[in-house]
Amino acid sequence: GGAQHFIGTAYLAKWFYPERFADLDPNAIHQRYLTGFQGLDFNLATEGAFVYP
C-alpha cells in the first residue's frame, strides 16, 4: 500500500503484458521514486533486486 503501490503495479504490468507495456521501465520508475521522492542514495542496478519474476 501507500505511495509506492504504483511501483509494484508497474512491475506486474511488465511481467504479465510485456508486449503491451514495451515502453514501460519499472526499474527506472522505482529508481526515480527512491532517489527523487524518498531522498535515498541507492542504486537498484548495483545494490540488488527488490523483485524476482
What per-residue confidence (pLDDT) applies to 25? Answer: 97
The residue range of the domain holding 39 is 5-47
Round to whole Å and give the CA distance between 1 and 19.
27
- Residue 14 lies inside a defined structural domain of this protein: yes
Ramachandran class of 43: left when φ > 0, alpha when ψ lies in -120 to 50, beta otherwise: beta
- Residue 53 lies inside a defined structural domain of this protein: no
Number of domains in the chain: 1
Residue whose C-alpha is closest to residue 13's, from 2, 4, 22: 22
Complete DSSP assignment for 4-35: THHHHHHHHHHHH-TTTTTT--HHHHHHHIII
Round to whole Å and give the CA distance between 53 and 2.
22
- Residue 52 lies inside a defined structural domain of this protein: no
pLDDT single digits (tens) 6-23: 998 999 999 999 999 999
pLDDT single digits (tens) 12-53: 999 999 999 999 999 999 999 999 999 999 999 998 777 776
